[in-house]
Amino acid sequence: MIGTVLCYLLLPAARLFRALRDAFFTCRKNVLQAKSPTTPVGGTSSVLSRRQVPEEQEALLQQLPEEEAGRLHSSESTPTVGRVSVTLPSDWREDSDLLMTSLSNLNVASEVTWCSDQQIDELRTLMPVEPKEHAAITLAKLPEEESVAVVGSAAWAAVRTQTDHQISGCAPSALERKEENTTVLGWSLVHDTEIVPMETTAWSFYDTAHFQSFPAETPYHEILWRDWEDLSSQLVVPELGSDNGPLFEFRVMSYNILAQDLVEQSPDLYQHCHPDILDWSYRLPNLLQEIQHWDPDVLCLQEVQENHYWEQLEPTFRMMGFVSVYKRRTGKKTDGCAVCYKHSRFQLISASPVEYFRPGLDILNRDNVGLVLLLQPLLPEGIGQKATRPLCVANTHVLYNPRRGDIKLAQMALLLAEIDKVAKTVEGNYCPVILCGDLNAVPDSPLYKFIRNGQLFYHGMPAWKVSGQEDFSHQQHQRKLPTPLWHSCLGITDNCQYVTLCQPKKSDRRKYSRDFLMQFRFCDAACERPAHLILLEGVTDVKPDRPAHWPKHLAVVNNPDPELFFPRSPGVIQHGLNLTSAYSHFLPQKGRPEVTTMPMGLGATVDYIFYSAEPIENGNKGGRRFYKDGTLKLLGRLSLLSEDVLWLANGLPNPFCSSDHLCLLASFGLEISSA
Ligand code: KL2
């Protein structure tokens, strides 16, 4: 009996404990690094950050035991990254709260197949604290309201008393939605009726023979360690002099969270994963905790499944203090993009969904979408008559198909045209722009260069080359990019601007192309017989028949009144947004490329955070632009990983990272000026 308990309960429990403790230290260290006050720019400017002990967190700190609060405040502390021995008794006591939280879950779990009732009873007797107490704490409910109201400073409204198991350093909120009986708490998320396999899987994974194994002594978080890179000290802003103003600091996350429907549609892509870790009930809490942990102010998500958005993500984000905007992909696709922003930090000016699908246009016949928000940063009170420029945030998930670079470029052109419209001020310049997304193109591919250099000569280019995902040069038939890339009826110039916005109307010189006029042949107005039309038999008494394949709507949907004739620049597309990447796509310390995803075990960067910068004059080498920070300053970022490191963790997703992409996180400072 004792042997059974030791083998089946205590050893797994010890491993579980080690995993939780490691997670605890990772969490704390990462947050301490990420949230440590930013070094003043050039030693002169101050960074106005709510992270310098914001009110909500201060209140929380007061609820924590003193030593925990002290640890949270201290940015110097370098926690021991846990390689915890399995000698239970001392460790058990030391972090019993953490362990108890997870062990208590076993008591409410109905599906713990490897634990008999008797074994659980015996385990209970080992618990130093009455388990029900913990279960009650873990699963305590919010007031029973159907929709969870945003209360006060909503982000932390759900935090209860100091008896909560707040893991210091983690965003200390306990979130729960009654309907799902789901609780986010520290690193463990628990269901009322069913144990979420986070705990079990996290350790039992080590023992599963068909996984690529790595030494059980090396916990996931150590393998997958991501440093916070503080870039603020590198900021040189000499022209601003010594009295440059404070900055509005905010963090932006871009994350492709892997829609569950896509997992289920392409199981072959995830054969390397244990089925349990692909389960949405396993992935959701992990994803939420990761987001909660890094605590972004702006969150750009891709592959957000619509039912998960409305039933789980949006309500949870609301409780975390986010306002969320969602755009589902067109057609039968069930996922889409979401942009969420903290309502304590931004006010929405406008939100523009962009559908790339345009009926009748082959180059835009896919169901991808984008979303462009204009946000007004909310400055803290008491800093006088100050203001910042609005911030334009765009998010997209571009077509995957590696062969169809033509479509990818056209999709990007549509998004850039919308950004141009949203971000352009009355004076004709742009407010700061942040463009996030999964672009399904690698760094230095033509698509990437187009965004970064503002220009692409594409004439005669094979379509597969655009994204750099795969080499199809050996194939006999290679689709070439058409010139011009898209039809004029799209109403978008080769500078990626809506025609109506870039050309004043000259009605006397308006010309319509034949192609443009032809698309009106079967429009509703054309099919309706004017009441006063003289009846001529066989001429004006018949309706034109719309062919079945003919689109019901006009190709131009977003742009009701385009100038229909405008000059094209064959073979070249441009944009004027001056965007550069928050990431360098290279890990200098490792001498390896950064990786944001691992399709079929091959690491690649396809996710980006681009931001507005100022081009350096004469800094154009071979078409590659060089930038310095402008109104928007890159203050830091969460380091990415290399492919070899992800291999050690069995690729993506794995028990620790619950998407097939890594999240990107960057911290920015926006100049504040006198209003
Ligand atoms: O690479 V992705 O994964 O940005 O994470 O975006 C698409 C692909 C996503 C939405 O279409 O589904 C994945 N082989 C591999 N992955 C595919 C394929 C495919 N043939 N088709 C779609 N996806």
Q: Which CATH number fits domain 246-473+493-503+572-674: 1.10.3210.10, 3.60.10.10, 3.10.310.10, 1.10.3720.10?
A: 3.60.10.10
365 phi and psi angles, rounded to 5 deg: -110, 20
Query: What's the rounded Cα separation, in Å, for the pair 650 and 648?
Result: 5
How do residues 15-27 score in pLDDT, each as one tens digit? 655 555 445 444 4
Helices and strands in the chain, H and E counts: 21, 25
Angle value at C-alpha 176, between 437 and 291, nearest 5 degrees:
25
Query: What's the rounded Cα separation, in Å, for the pair 91 and 25?
Result: 14
Q: Is 254 in the pocket of ligand 1 (CB under 6 A)?
A: no
Using the predicted structure, report yes or no on whether residue 653 has a pLDDT greater than 80: yes
Q: If pLDDT is split at 50, 70 and 90, which confidence band does 298 have?
A: very high
Q: Is 367 in the pocket of ligand 1 (CB under 6 A)?
A: no
Q: If pLDDT is split at 50, 70 and 90, which confidence band does 539 have?
A: confident
Structure tokens at 241: 């002099």
Q: Is 401 in the pocket of ligand 1 (CB under 6 A)?
A: no
> How big, in percent rounded to 5, are the helix, strand and coil portions of the chain?
35, 20, 45
Using the predicted structure, report yes or no on whether residue 642 has a pLDDT greater than 60: yes
Q: Which of 255, 258, 262 to mutate to test the pocket of ligand 1 (most atoms within 8 A of CB)?
A: 262
How many angstroms does the Cα of residue 400 sit away from the middle of ligand 1? 5
Cis peptide before 484 (omega within 30 of 0): yes
Q: What DSSP assignment string belongs to 568-612?
A: --TTEEE----EEESS-SEETTTTEE-BSB-GGG--B--EEEEEE
Q: If pLDDT is split at 50, 70 and 90, which confidence band does 11 have?
A: low
Q: For residues 375 and 325, is the Cβ–Cβ distance under 8 A?
A: no
How many angstroms does the Cα of residue 432 sit away from the middle of ligand 1? 31
Q: Which of 369, 400, 469 to mutate to test the pocket of ligand 1 (most atoms within 8 A of CB)?
A: 400
How do residues 401-447 score in pLDDT, each as one tens digit? 999 999 999 999 999 999 999 999 999 999 999 999 999 999 999 99
Structure tokens at 480: 């070439």
C-alpha 523: how far from chain center: 39
Q: Is 305 in the pocket of ligand 1 (CB under 6 A)?
A: no
How many angstroms does the Cα of residue 600 sit away from the middle of ligand 1? 11
Residue 394 has a pLDDT of 99
Q: Please measure the distance between the N-terminal and C-terminal CA atoms of the chain and give it in whole angstroms.
A: 75
Domain ranges of the chain: 38-206, 246-473+493-503+572-674
Contacts of 289 (CB under 8 A, 6+ apart): 170, 184, 186, 187, 189
Q: Give mean pLDDT, residues 510-521.
A: 72
Q: What is the pTM of this model?
A: 0.67
Structure tokens at 243: 């009295």
Residue nearest to atom 11 of ligand 1 (CA): 400
How do residues 18-57 score in pLDDT, each as one tens digit? 555 445 444 444 444 444 433 333 333 344 444 433 343 3
* Of the candidates 413, 412, 414, the residue with the CA atom closest to the CA atom of residue 399: 412
Residue 167 has a pLDDT of 26
Residue nearest to atom 10 of ligand 1 (CA): 400
What 3-state DSSP class applies to 241?
Answer: coil
Pairing of strands 322-328, 335-342: antiparallel
Dihedral sign of CA atoms 228, 233, 239, 245 in order: positive
* Of the candidates 185, 171, 97, the residue with the CA atom closest to the CA atom of residue 141: 185
Residue nearest to atom 21 of ligand 1 (CA): 400
Closest ligand 1 atom to the C-alpha of 269? 15
Pairing of strands 47-48, 247-256: parallel
- How large is the angle between the packed helices 66-73 and 55-63, nearest 10 degrees? 150
Q: Is 438 in the pocket of ligand 1 (CB under 6 A)?
A: yes
Higher pLDDT, 585 or 61: 585
Residue nearest to atom 12 of ligand 1 (CA): 262
Contacts of 265 (CB under 8 A, 6+ apart): none
Q: Is 256 in the pocket of ligand 1 (CB under 6 A)?
A: yes
Query: What's the rounded Cα separation, in Å, for the pair 221 and 215?
Result: 13
Closest ligand 1 atom to the C-alpha of 661? 5
Structure tokens at 342: 């903290």
Q: Is 262 in the pocket of ligand 1 (CB under 6 A)?
A: yes
